[in-house]
A and B are shown apart, each in its own frame.
Chain A
Amino acid sequence: MNGFRVLCATVVVSLIAGLAVAAGKPAKGPGGHPDLSGFWMQSNKVAPDKTLMDRLPANTVVVPDAGAIELPRGDWGGLKPKPKALADAQKWEPKDDMSLTNACKPPSIIYAMQGPFPLEIYQGTELIVIKLEYFDMMRVVFMDGRKPDATTPDSKVGYSVGHWEGDTLVVETTHLEAGTILNNGLSHSNKARLIERFRVNAEGTELLSTQEFEDPETLDNRGARFIGWKKKTDHVYPYECDPTFALEYQKQQQPPK
């Protein structure tokens, strides 16, 4: 009898989920919000989502380097660095990053989120945890209204607060340590502010996201990226970084400018 009840319940849940997809609404998660939880693999085969792209404000350039794509030296992807940031970027040498000291330092989430690595999302009503494979980074998004205070330190993941706007999770992050934006010399300062929007497609198979970032110390315009992920059955692997890899680069001549 119990087995029959479980079967009936399973059928009803499946029917509801099927109707939700048919109606173009993703499955519900905690609090009745769209369910973003699970393992997601970054993919450039996910087309930019018009709903999210239309939300990007004016004076925003979409940098075309999400995922495996990276811009060559001197290409800022439409970002307008302020004079000092530009001078620093032009002086940058790749060897500086690939040193024993720096090779295993994580970038900030402005760069890390768009990398070609997977992430896992654990969704609650008061907290959402985003676990990145890249450098074992762990993000906590506070959904309970708390704010950073005067003692909140800067970090590579920053301090993130989120809220729902319809079917879209909106996350604002401050208190970011300075870090690379493009991995080719252009960096943001610790005054950078990041706004991310996340939603899933109707089938729940794609996680769609935009990130917008602004930094009054280094940029004259606002940057953005579209980042897409595909849902898969997998796990985030540990990222155990061996800094001695950098020795390979210290032995080499610098690549030509």
Chain B
Amino acid sequence: MRFNLGSKLAWAVLASVPAVALAHHSFAVFFDGQKSVTLTGVVTEFKFVNPHGLIVLQVKNKDGVAEEWKVETNSPSILRRRGWAPDSLAAGETVTIEGWPGRNDAHYARLRSAKRANGEPIGKPMGSDD
């Protein structure tokens, strides 16, 4: 038997890896876990569906032009356990989202955490209790 995690040290390292991935499609294939992206924008749509939820935002670029970004979330059942609900976001609301960018450089990212304009966290961040 070959056990890649044979030592306690190796196991501790693995256990401390942020829970950046989630099943259904491979996080590692689509998103860059070594990079991060922060987006502040106005919500235009929030889908609370499996296999992944989706937040659509209008985000102003450095020239002040609004661009559409889409932010994929975990499965809704996972989000519920982090304090999210289908009405956690309303269209027209300004939010700031931190996450991981897509590997294809599209305006597409994966949610790690979100907060409202007043700084209030929306649910708990990804990996906080996984």
Contact = CB atoms under 8 A, between A and B. Distances in A.
Interface of A: 43-45, 47-48, 53, 56-64, 67-73, 77-78, 94, 97-98, 103-104, 111-112, 115-117, 133-134, 182-184, 224, 226, 234, 237-242, 245, 248-249, 252-256
A60 to B, nearest CB: 5
Given A62-B3, A64-B14, A238-B77, 13 more contacts: A44-B19, A68-B130, A70-B21, A72-B28, A103-B51, A115-B23, A116-B22, A116-B23, A183-B24, A240-B49, A245-B54, A252-B104, A253-B104
Contacts of A184: 26, 28-29
Contacts of A56: 1, 3
A239 B4 contact: no
A44 B15 contact: yes
Nearest to A115: B23
Interface residues of B, number: 43
Interface of B: 1-5, 8, 11, 14-15, 17, 19-30, 47, 49-52, 54, 70, 72, 75-78, 80-81, 102-104, 106, 108, 127, 130
Contacts, number: 137
Nearest to B18: A68
15 contacts: A44-B130, A47-B15, A60-B1, A61-B4, A64-B4, A64-B5, A68-B27, A94-B30, A117-B77, A184-B26, A237-B76, A237-B80, A241-B49, A245-B49, A254-B104
A73 B29 contact: yes
Contacts of A255: 29-30, 102-104
Nearest to B106: A252
Contacts of B25: 94, 97-98, 183, 249
B77 A239 contact: yes
B99 to A, nearest CB: 15
A200 B52 CA distance: 31
B29 A242 contact: no
B51 to A, nearest CB: 6
A116 B130 contact: yes
A183 B23 contact: yes
A106 to B, nearest CB: 10
Contacts of A234: 81
Contacts of A73: 26, 28-29
